[in-house]
Amino acid sequence: MTATQTTTQDWQKIKAGDKDAFRRLVEPYLAELRKAAEHEITYHVCVGDLGTGSVSPDDLVAEVLLKAWDERQRKPETLDLKAWLFGLLHRTADRLVSEQKGTGDLVRVSLDAPPSDGGAAPGWRQPDDFESWEDVIPDPRTSADEMIAAVEGQPGSLSEPARRILVMHDRHGISIQQVAFVTGTSVARAQEFLLEARHKIQG
């Protein structure tokens, strides 16, 4: 088993209810997931979607893990665990933003509570060009830290898909095919978003 893939046998155990196997497989991604959660919260506070201190990175990650366990039966086989967790992070962040905009309050999350139900979970659709994509994307000219600082320093300058594709690919090393999968776009369009975002951020 590689660092970005789960074996069929392990995932079958998880689908059958093996929480220890689930914890073992998600543990290597927790640090990066928390960094991504911190960025999501910081960004949404900057654009006014969330109030300062309304949710913590640890709360957001806890909600994501609860959601991942709840939706483990629906994880596509060709979607890497890391990319899937990031996709769930973004969906959970969007739901929390929607809750605050609708009620003015966020539902506090807890590891001891079941995940709140934001309605039927949208499906995951593999892009049509997922298997055939062969283009090589050049490395970014800025470091990951410089990129994050630029994105958070220019709130609203990028569309949500472009921002998330940029962060997932250039900061967290998720392939453009996997990024396209979790953002619901074609691989070709995901690359366009990525290169456009780089151009805006790098000037």
pLDDT in tens, 61-82: 999 999 999 999 999 989 999 9
Distance CA 132, CA 124 (A): 19
Domain boundary assignment for the chain? 8-103, 144-202
Reported as a single tens digit per residue, the pLDDT across 23-61 is 999 999 999 999 999 999 999 999 998 888 889 999 999
Distance CA 73, CA 69 (A): 8
- For domain 8-103, the question of CATH label 2.40.10 is answered with no
The answer to whether 82 and 133 have CB atoms below 8 angstroms apart is no
Below-50 pLDDT ranges, the chain: 1-6, 105-121
Distance CA 82, CA 79 (A): 8
Distances (CA, A) of 137 to 2, 3, 40, 202: 22, 22, 25, 16
Entry pTM: 0.84
Question: Which CATH number is correct for 144-202, 3.40.50, 1.10.10, 1.10.8, 1.10.20?
Answer: 1.10.10
pLDDT at 111: 36
Which residue in the block uniquely carries the two structure tokens 């396209």?
180
Mapping DSSP onto H, E and C, the string for 160-178 reads: HHHHHHHHHHHHCCCCHHH
Question: H or E stretch including 90?
Answer: helix 81-103
